[in-house]
Structure 1
C-alpha cells in the first residue's frame, strides 16, 4: 500500500441502509475512498475484476454468495485486497469460517465508528485485526466445530521453540501483544519478534491464521 493515495475500499452488504451507513462513515475520511459497493459476494467478485481495491468490508450472511465463499475465492486469486469481515455475534456462526477462508480480521457490526475506521486502516497495511475480547467469545463458541478431537501434539508445531509455542498459545487465547508480554515477563518488542518467526516458520499470513492454527492443532481448546 502506498501512502500517496487514499485507501480504496469496497463495501459488501445486502442491506442497502447498512451499506450506506458504512459508506458514509468511510467517505468522511480524507485518507479513505469508497470505490464500489455490492449487495452479495458474487457481485463483489465481479466488481473487483475491473476495480482495484485495498480492503473489502464484507458482510457474512448474504444471498447468491455469502461472505465466507466470496472471501475464499478472493484469497485464492493471489494478489487480492484484504478482507475485513463484519458480523453480528448473536446470529452469525460463520465468522470463524471466514477467518479460515482468509479474512484478515473481523468486527462486530455494533463496533464504534472510530474502531471500524482504525480496523480498515490496519488491515490496509497488511496487518490483521483480531480484537482480543471478541476473539475469546467467538473462538470459545465456534472453534470446537473445526475438527473432531485433535491429536495431543500436532507435527506442524514441531518447528517452533518452546517459547514460540507459548506465544502462539497465548495468541490463540486472544491475548494482545501487551498482555502476552506481561504474562511471559518479556518486552512487547520481543513478543513481536517471536510472532514474526512463528508466522514465517508455519507459513502463516497473519495473526488471524495463527489463531486458527492454534485451535486446529489442539494447542488451544474450547471449554465444553
Structure 2
C-alpha cells in the first residue's frame, strides 16, 4: 500500500486526484494540503510514502520551496511533482530541489499511477520528452563546465527583487521600481531568502555581491 499526500491549491483538483487514486487497491490517500507550509507539516505528521506536489501555489509556500525544505527535513521522502508547466527551466529546478519525479497534469491516468509506483519504489520518474531535454541540457552544461547552485532556483522576478533589496531599497520603493505591490515584494523577498537559506539583509548583500548583482561606480 502506497500512502499518498496530495498538495494542490485547487480543491477540485485535489478531489479529482483522490477519486482517481482511491480507486486503486495499492494506493491510499492519507491527507491533502493547499500550500507548501501545510504540506510540510502534514508530511511530518503523516509520513507519506509519496507527496504529489503542485508547483504553482500563489498562497503560502510554493511547491518548489516546499520540496527543497521537505527533503532537508525528511531526506527519504519521495516527492512527485505534478504540474502544468512543460518547461525545461522548471524541470531543472525540480531536480535541484530534490524531487523524485516530474509529470504533467495533462498525462494519462495510467502514466500518473505508473509514476507514483516508480518513485515509491525509490526510482526516479520523468515524463518521456523530459528525459531527452534533461540529457541534452545536462551534457551541454558539463561541456561548458557549469554547475547548478541555489541561484538557479530563483525566478527572474525574485532575482530582480534580490538585487533591489541588496542595494538597500525599501519594499515600497522596490514595488514602484518593478510596478508591483508592496505585499508582492514581501512575498518574493520571503521566498527568495527561503530558497537561498539566508536569514538577514547582510547575508543577502554578501550573496548578491558574490553573484555579481551589485555594481558600484
**Which range, TM-score by smaller chain?**
0.5 to 0.7
How big is the shift at 1:90? 5.0
Which runs of 5 or more residues in structure 2 are unaligned?
A: 148-217
Distance in 2 (alpha carbons) for counterparts of 1:12 and 1:92: 22
Aligned length: 145
1:104 aligns to 2:100 (yes or no): yes
Q: Deviations over 1:127-182 (max 9, x none)?
A: 11023323335777xx58x9798328x9xxxxxxxxxxxxxxxxxxxxxxxxxxxx
One of 77, 83, 88 as aligned partner of 2:79 = 83
Task: State the match for 1:208 in structure 2.
Answer: none
Structure 2 SS opposite 1:34: strand
Between 1 and 2, higher relative CO (CA 8 Å, sep ≥ 6) is seen in 1
How big is the shift at 1:102? 0.3
Q: Deviations over 1:28-62 (max 9, x none)?
A: 11010000000011110011121111000000011
Normalised by the length of structure 1, the TM-score is 0.58
Distance in 2 (alpha carbons) for counterparts of 1:92 and 1:66: 18
1:151 aligns to 2:145 (yes or no): yes
One of 108, 114, 118 as aligned partner of 2:114 = 118
One of 34, 37, 40 as aligned partner of 2:29 = 34
Distance in 2 (alpha carbons) for counterparts of 1:139 and 1:15: 33
More helix as a share of residues: 2
Structural RMSD (CA): 2.7
Q: 1:100 to 1:87 in 2, by over 3 A?
A: same
Kindly indicate whether the alpha-carbon contact (under 8 Å) linking 1:60 and 1:95 is maintained by their aligned counterparts in 2: no
Structure 2 SS opposite 1:44: helix
Task: State the match for 2:5 in structure 1.
Answer: 10
Distance in 2 (alpha carbons) for counterparts of 1:16 and 1:76: 27
Structure 1 SS opposite 2:6: strand
Q: Structure 1 segments of 4 or more deviating over 6 A?
A: 146-149
Normalised by the length of structure 2, the TM-score is 0.60
Distance in 2 (alpha carbons) for counterparts of 1:90 and 1:74: 23
Which runs of 5 or more residues in structure 1 are unaligned?
A: 1-5, 155-224
1:129 aligns to 2:121 (yes or no): no
